[in-house]
């Protein structure tokens, strides 16, 4: 199945906007004054080392945890309007929110009911997505018998089944074989072509290089670099050429990632690629903030809905 080709978003406003978004757990600041503006119909590659604050940022943007300070909107709707935001987004966390006691088909039927998809339409979408991800033969097995890759594919279907305008994906190719991973990349490209926005967090830089329109690098809760991949790599190349440190080959996102995180860790400004020119500063205290996030939202509700009664 391919995502609907009808463009569903208003290109005149950002799909995702954050202003001074901050999250603290006790005395630890995990996300520190984050500003974001992600255009509709684009793929935003969100990079950073472990513990940088990526997952916490995604939890705030998807209403699963409340910011300590700052504001964020999804298509103009504030994230504190949980019902208004959730109808417009899909989210695949690193651990897919599926219920082991259900079969794959039952999980998707349950999701369709929660999303108010008419039964006939839901069944058609479910069958098409199961076929797309080679899960049709296993659709009536319990999820607790699924492999990690099968759970990952099912979780992605859960995230896109209702055709949301904005999709957040946290390590979507984790545990997948090359064929399934290629299918995921094709789906992401199709979502963007259909006018939907994809916020993609992954450690696989080749995926970001292939798909992302814009890349942001988070380090210790601060955005230390942002821009189109080609511009970021060109800046790294220019600095290397000026210092006589390159062998003439084109730079990669790995070069960008290493350059900006090294500069940030050292507390230096004016590195190969940094945000100081755009009004951002990098962290200079050398501390390593541990990224933590609750499994429940700010109202104490489960991050996933309860399974149907009687299972």
42-100: pLDDT as tens digits: 999 999 999 999 999 999 999 999 999 999 999 999 999 999 999 999 999 999 999 99
Confidence of residue 292 (pLDDT cuts 50, 70, 90): very low
Residues 6+ apart with CB under 8 A from 1: 125, 128, 129, 131, 132
pLDDT of residue 307: 58
Residue 274 has pLDDT above 90, yes or no: no
DSSP-derived letter for residue 276 is: G
* Arithmetic mean of pLDDT, 149-171: 98
CB atoms within 10 A of CB 36: 20
Residues 6+ apart with CB under 8 A from 259: 236, 239, 271, 272, 273
Q: Is the pTM of this model over 0.75?
A: yes
DSSP-derived letter for residue 10 is: -
- 70: its two tokens: 């700052």
Q: Residue 220: left (phi > 0), alpha (psi -120 to 50), or beta?
A: left
- Looking at per-residue pLDDT, the higher value among 154 and 262 belongs to 154
Which class in CATH covers the domain with range 16-224?
A: alpha beta
Helix (H) or strand (E) holding 108: helix 104-114
* CA separation for the pair 297, 216 (Å, rounded): 25
Give percent of the chain above pLDDT 90. 70
Q: Is 201 helix (H, G, I), strand (E, B) or coil?
A: strand
User: Is the CA virtual torsion 92, 97, 102, 108 positive or negative?
Assistant: negative
Residue 9 has pLDDT above 80, yes or no: no
Residue 272 has pLDDT above 80, yes or no: no
Helix (H) or strand (E) holding 34: strand 28-38
DSSP-derived letter for residue 290 is: P
pLDDT of residue 13: 87
Give yes or no for a contact between 193 and 186, defined as CB atoms under 8 angstroms apart: no
* Arithmetic mean of pLDDT, 109-121: 97
170-192: pLDDT as tens digits: 999 999 999 999 999 999 999 99
46-58: pLDDT as tens digits: 999 999 999 999 9
């Amino acid at each position: 199945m391919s995502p609907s080709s009808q463009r569903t978003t208003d290109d005149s406003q950002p799909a995702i906007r954050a202003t001074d978004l901050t999250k603290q757990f006790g005395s630890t600041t995990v996300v520190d004054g984050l500003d974001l503006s992600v255009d509709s119909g684009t793929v935003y590659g969100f990079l950073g080392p472990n513990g940088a604050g990526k997952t916490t940022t995604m939890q705030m943007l998807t209403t699963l945890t409340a910011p300590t300070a700052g504001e964020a909107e999804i298509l103009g709707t504030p994230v504190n309007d949980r019902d208004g935001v959730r109808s417009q987004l899909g989210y695949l966390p690193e651990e897919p929110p599926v219920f082991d006691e259900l079969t794959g088909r039952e999980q998707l039927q349950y999701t369709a009911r929660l999303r108010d998809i008419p039964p006939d339409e839901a069944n058609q979408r479910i069958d098409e997505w199961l076929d797309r991800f080679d899960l049709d033969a296993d659709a009536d097995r319990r999820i607790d018998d699924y492999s990690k890759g099968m759970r990952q594919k099912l979780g992605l279907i859960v995230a896109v089944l209702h055709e949301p305008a904005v999709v957040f994906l946290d390590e979507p190719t984790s545990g997948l074989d090359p064929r399934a991973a290629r299918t995921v990349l094709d789906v992401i490209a199709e979502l963007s072509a259909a006018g939907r926005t994809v916020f993609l967090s992954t450690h696989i830089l080749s995926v970001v290089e292939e798909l992302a329109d814009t890349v942001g690098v988070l380090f210790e809760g601060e955005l230390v670099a942002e821009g189109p991949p080609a511009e970021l790599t060109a800046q790294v190349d220019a600095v290397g050429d000026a210092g006589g440190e390159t062998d003439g080959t084109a730079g990669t996102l790995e070069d960008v990632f290493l350059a900006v995180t090294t500069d940030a860790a050292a507390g230096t400004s004016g590195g190969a690629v940094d945000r100081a020119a755009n009004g951002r500063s990098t962290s200079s205290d050398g501390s390593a903030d541990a990224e933590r996030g609750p499994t429940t939202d700010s109202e104490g509700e489960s991050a996933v809905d309860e399974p149907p009664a009687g299972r």
